[in-house]
Structure 1
Amino acid sequence: MAVRPTRRLTQLLAGLVLYGVSMGLMVRSTLGLDPWDVLHEALSERTGLSFGLVTGILGALVLLCWIPLRQRPGVGTVANIVVIAVAVDLTLALLPPPSALAARIVLMVSGVVLNGLATATYIGVRLGPGPRDGLMTGIAARTGVSIRVVRTGIELTVLAVGWLLGGTAGIGTVVYALAIGPLTQAFLPLVRWRPERVDAAEA
């Protein structure tokens, strides 16, 4: 029996919204961002465009790099660009920057944990990788270099460029780098889509 796409699409959108919220939490903490967001913040400050808009534009530009890599986007790829951009801008508009260090630490830690859950949530439905993830897997497939090496190279590059342009790198960047892998792995079994498990409401 075919499974209706409603639950998968709902989980995809929920994961992407949570991802944008997690980005906003880390931005407001001012304690350091993940490598791509260091670059997003730097470009936002230099261009005057909103953080979310920069995220979406850069995501679309990265998607163009898929063409020579022969990567195929899915519905999740396009949704990734649009939903995250809107969600992070809404979060930043609604969440004032705290001044107390304790509150900033809470935002940073919450952002990292929520990012791990959000990543597992939208990856788990298998409706297409985000532009940056697809760039990583595409380069690895075309070059034969391991995904770990490719991802490290890409993230170190964007981190360095973002930092040189004035993006915020700090303890939050280190915490994110150390925790995001284990967090995503821990959450993934809880949210991974399994075709053989059909909810009664969808049967």
Structure 2
Amino acid sequence: MKKDFRVLPRTIWTAKSLWKIELIPLIVLTIALSVLGIGEGLLLLSGLGSSPWTVFAQGIAIQTHISIGWVSLIISISVMLLWIPLKLKAGFGTLLNILFVALFLGLTAALVPAPTELISQFIYAITGIIILGIATVFYLTIHQGAGPRDGLMVGLCYKFRWKVGIVRTILEVTVCSLGYLLGGTVGIGTLLFAFGIGFVIQITLNIIIKLHQN
């Protein structure tokens, strides 16, 4: 069992199974995924560039003349197909990820005023990246399944026994570079996300691991 939690430790909010609904895991899961959506919304509102996966989708959409919405769906399905050789399983968290992140991304974009000054734009982008990273760790350590991209990250960590921060950074930089080469738009916010999100996740994960070792 130790191998199962080498990358993502067991915590006091870890669920007993992929689909079992329990009060504490459910509360942490809903809060974490809501914050995840808010973080995505703040990054979007910053106007400093989309996330690397969105840049990737944009680049493919430009080359194929398919709408970015359909391209994003195709990418998600393709990424989940990569779960098969990595022996990953979807769970209750995977389902809620799809619902809550989209909901709170939309609410944030609709209700929070967009920044008008450059310093405010950076505050939005950096805040979004930080809370995205923290929320990602909390929902993943519930062990009820990840979203398509986070699942790929976790699967690669288990497969190659690499740290989460390293794998996340490699993935983000890779898809960002491919998206840019395909014609996607990259901004300073995109680069901050690509190079910063992995470190935020790794630092948060290290703190949680230390707390649960004491």
State the SS of the aligned residue for 1:72.
coil
Q: Counterpart of 1:99?
A: 116
Equivalences, count:
190
**Cα shift at 1:36:** 1.7
**Cα shift at 1:91:** 1.8
Distance (whole Å) between structure 2 residues aligned to residue 147 and residue 190 of structure 1: 14
1:159 aligns with 2:176: yes
Q: Counterpart of 1:201?
A: none
Identity score, percent: 36
Distance (whole Å) between structure 2 residues aligned to residue 145 and residue 120 of structure 1: 17
| Matched AA of 2:179 | G
Distance (whole Å) between structure 2 residues aligned to residue 83 and residue 192 of structure 1: 29
Would you say the 8 A contact 1:121–1:192 is kept in 2?
no
**Cα shift at 1:141:** 5.4
Question: What TM-score, normalized to structure 2?
Answer: 0.68
Q: Which segments of 5 or more consecutive residues in structure 1 lack a partner in the other structure?
A: 195-203
Q: Counterpart of 1:200?
A: none
Q: Which segments of 5 or more consecutive residues in structure 2 lack a partner in the other structure?
A: 1-14
Q: Counterpart of 1:30?
A: 47
Distance 1:30 1:146, change over 3 A: same
Distance (whole Å) between structure 2 residues aligned to residue 82 and residue 64 of structure 1: 20
Distance 1:49 1:169, change over 3 A: closer
**Cα shift at 1:94:** 2.2
Q: Counterpart of 1:197?
A: none
Distance (whole Å) between structure 1 residues aligned to residue 66 and residue 95 of structure 2: 24
Would you say the 8 A contact 1:28–1:107 is kept in 2?
yes
1:115 aligns with 2:132: yes
Query: What do you get for the CA RMSD once the two structures are aligned?
Result: 3.6
**Cα shift at 1:150:** 5.6
Question: What TM-score, normalized to structure 1?
Answer: 0.71
Distance 1:191 1:94, change over 3 A: farther
